[in-house]
């Protein structure tokens, strides 16, 4: 293998942070309102990745029960110092964008001796802003570097501050020290600080996490500054480009054991209407230090899809089985409740709770990331609804007001219904009577432009019968969800399973099995 394809982590994998420990590389990604929180991945060649699990998998670490869509865990930084992993992250409880921006958040620190855990309970850091980084200086002292919207005194609402951290006392020392005011691109966030050859290098994300997103770089001889901006900044952006990739930003750097430097960053693959159903994905780019000590990213060619592999031995790691419901690629919206969700390797049981998908209290929305533009997914459902409102089905899900699904329902005896939520509670757009009392196999297929076709058959028997016309899957994107909410939308499409009484109390359980997801 001489070349690799981007993204290295397809589908919803935003805000990547990377660290090397010996010959192993570890990545952390934001998970927002999905539980468990902060996805962790491992590689030995930077190209092939394996899901390790999640750092925050206990309610005492993370309770997202009342957390709205696109809130929750934002922009982690993963580092390794003196035999311990350090993870710092923002937990956002409230965010409203616009002229009267309001935010309620905490910045938290977790540690573990092993990437597989157990990870510690949270250590509270501060609420100055978002996107914390943890940096160890040459003298061994640790610093929290983060966006700062509260210190004030800068020319823009956001700036970058540093704050010393005491690992023994598990707290911050002194007051925050602003070190960088950002550039005219604005929305300065996602800082990562590095030390190399006597220089402190500060990378930030700027321009907002949309089509104007960018990576900026500055440096200083002193930790506290002043910092000078890189010539020709930003060092990476796809702003103004009209290609198959977009939204490049929020970068982190790693040096290989062979002395190469690489950048991981987020990016997206828009469809023909500039909608990114797969969300913000993780890309890998080569970087080079110039003779005058600045960074050149991919020789200035931006976010490319195919590139030469790193100078590392190829190592293909086994991937998790998507059909294994107990595997690491499955998550639940907000909170996992054993009272309503029961999992084994090949079976998933969901209680048909009263809350519909649109309810923030829905506690049994279980899903895995959609990773391809062209895909198919199918699942066998065993469910006997006894009242009209009960349903169980297969759902392409972005958030509680943006989803499209095929459900087995109690309507008119037994029916199959396609329901669409496009910024409002779901409406039934297609229905067929289903007279076969055997388990039903539900299927969805997507093309390059996110047109979704649902179909069904008796489990494993005969041809699939289409249910309704193709549906517009592009509503499952940041671009569409962000129009509805007064906050931005930051996630990506999931393939979910769900059961509900849709307003009625129910003790019925739906059984899901034989889940298959494949690229087409």
DSSP string, 387-411: STT-EEEEEEEEETTEEEEEEEE-T
Confidence (pLDDT) at 486: 47
Edge-to-edge strand ranges of the sheet holding 72-81 = 72-81, 84-96, 102-112, 123-126
8-state DSSP, 374: S
- What is this structure's pTM? 0.96
Q: Pull the structure tokens for residue 383.
A: 């469910």
CA distance 306 to 295: 21
Q: Pull the structure tokens for residue 518.
A: 């494949």
CA distance 13 to 283: 9
Per-residue pLDDT of the chain (520 residues; tens, 9 = 90+): 899 999 999 999 999 999 999 999 999 999 999 999 999 999 999 999 999 999 999 989 999 988 889 999 999 999 999 999 999 999 998 766 554 455 688 999 999 999 999 999 999 999 999 999 999 999 999 999 999 988 777 788 889 999 999 999 999 999 999 999 999 999 999 999 999 999 999 999 999 989 999 999 999 999 999 999 999 999 999 998 888 999 999 999 999 999 999 999 999 999 989 999 999 999 999 999 999 999 999 999 999 999 999 999 999 998 878 889 999 999 999 988 888 899 988 999 999 988 899 998 887 899 999 999 999 999 999 999 988 899 999 999 999 999 999 999 987 789 999 999 999 999 999 999 998 889 999 999 999 999 999 999 999 888 999 999 999 999 999 999 875 544 568 999 999 999 998 888 888 899 999 999 999 8
Beta strand pairing call for 375-382 and 24-29: unpaired
Element (H, E) at 481: helix 478-484
CA 455 distance to own-chain centroid: 29
Q: Is 464 exposed, middle or buried (0-12, 13-18, 19+ CB in 10 A)?
A: middle
Asked if residues 396 and 370 have their Cβ atoms less than 8 Å apart, the reply is yes
Which residues are paired to 247 by β-bridges?
none
Tell me which residues are annotated as active site.
Answer: 15, 189
Residues in Cβ contact with 374 at an 8 Å cutoff, skipping those fewer than 6 apart: 446, 447, 448, 519, 520
Which residue bears the tokens 């939308």?
489
CA distance 324 to 314: 26
Closest C-alpha to 143, from 126, 122, 166? 166
DSSP per-residue string spanning 259-291: S-EEEEEEEE---TTS--TT-SEEEEEEEEE-T
Confidence (pLDDT) at 103: 67
Confidence (pLDDT) at 213: 95
Beta strand pairing call for 3-5 and 24-29: unpaired
Three-class secondary structure of residue 49 per DSSP: coil
Q: Pull the structure tokens for residue 228.
A: 């000078």
Confidence (pLDDT) at 98: 54
């Amino acid at each position: 293998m001489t070349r690799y394809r981007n993204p290295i982590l397809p589908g919803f994998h935003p805000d990547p942070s990377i660290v090397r420990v010996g010959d192993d590389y570890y990545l952390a990604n934001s998970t927002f309102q999905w539980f468990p929180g902060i996805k962790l991945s491992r590689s030995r060649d930077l190209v092939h990745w394996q899901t390790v699990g999640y750092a925050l998998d206990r309610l005492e670490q993370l309770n997202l029960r009342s957390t709205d869509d696109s809130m929750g865990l934002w922009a982690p930084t993963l580092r390794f110092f003196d035999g311990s992993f350090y993870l710092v992250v923002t937990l956002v409880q409230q965010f409203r964008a616009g002229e009267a921006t309001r935010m309620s958040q905490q910045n938290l620190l977790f540690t573990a001796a092993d990437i597989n855990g157990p990870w510690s309970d949270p250590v509270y850091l501060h609420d100055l802003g978002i996107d914390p980084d943890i940096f160890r200086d040459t003298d061994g002292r640790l610093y929290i570097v983060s966006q700062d919207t509260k210190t004030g005194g800068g020319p823009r609402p956001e700036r970058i501050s540093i704050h010393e951290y005491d690992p023994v006392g598990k707290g911050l020392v002194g007051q925050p020290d602003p070190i960088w005011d950002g550039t005219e691109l604005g929305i300065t966030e996602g800082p990562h600080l590095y030390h190399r050859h006597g220089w402190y290098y500060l990378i930030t994300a700027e321009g907002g996490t949309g089509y104007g997103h960018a990576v900026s770089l500055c440096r200083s001889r002193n930790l506290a500054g002043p910092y000078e901006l890189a010539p020709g900044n930003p060092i990476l952006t796809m702003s103004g480009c009209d290609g198959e990739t977009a939204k490049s930003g929020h970068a982190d750097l790693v040096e290989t054991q062979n002395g190469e430097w690489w950048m991981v960053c987020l990016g997206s693959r828009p469809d023909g209407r500039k909608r990114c159903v797969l969300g913000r994905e993780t890309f890998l780019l080569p970087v080079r230090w110039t003779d005058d000590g600045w960074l050149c990213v991919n020789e200035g060619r931006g976010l490319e899809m195919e590139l030469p592999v790193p100078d590392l031995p190829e190592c293909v790691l086994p991937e998790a089985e998507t059909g294994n419901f107990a595997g690491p690629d499955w998550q639940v919206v907000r909170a996992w409740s054993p009272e309503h969700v029961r999992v084994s390797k090949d079976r998933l049981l969901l209680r048909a709770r009263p809350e519909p998908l649109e309810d923030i209290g829905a506690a049994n929305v279980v899903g895995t990331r959609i990773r391809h533009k062209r895909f198919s997914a199918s699942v066998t459902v065993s469910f006997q609804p006894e009242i009209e409102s009960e349903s169980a089905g297969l759902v392409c899900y972005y958030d509680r007001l943006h989803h499209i699904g095929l459900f087995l329902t109690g309507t008119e005896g037994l029916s199959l219904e396609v329901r669409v939520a496009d910024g409002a509670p779901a409406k039934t757009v297609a229905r067929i009577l289903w007279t076969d009392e055997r388990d039903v196999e539900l299927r969805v297929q997507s093309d390059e432009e996110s047109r979704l076709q649902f179909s069904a058959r008796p489990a494993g028997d005969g041809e699939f019968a289409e249910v309704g016309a193709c549906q517009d899957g592009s509503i499952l994107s940041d671009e569409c969800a962000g129009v509805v909410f007064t906050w931005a939308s930051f996630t990506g499409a999931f393939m979910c399973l769900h059961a509900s009484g849709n307003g009625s109390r129910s003790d019925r359980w739906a059984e899901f099995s034989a889940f298959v997801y494949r690229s087409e």
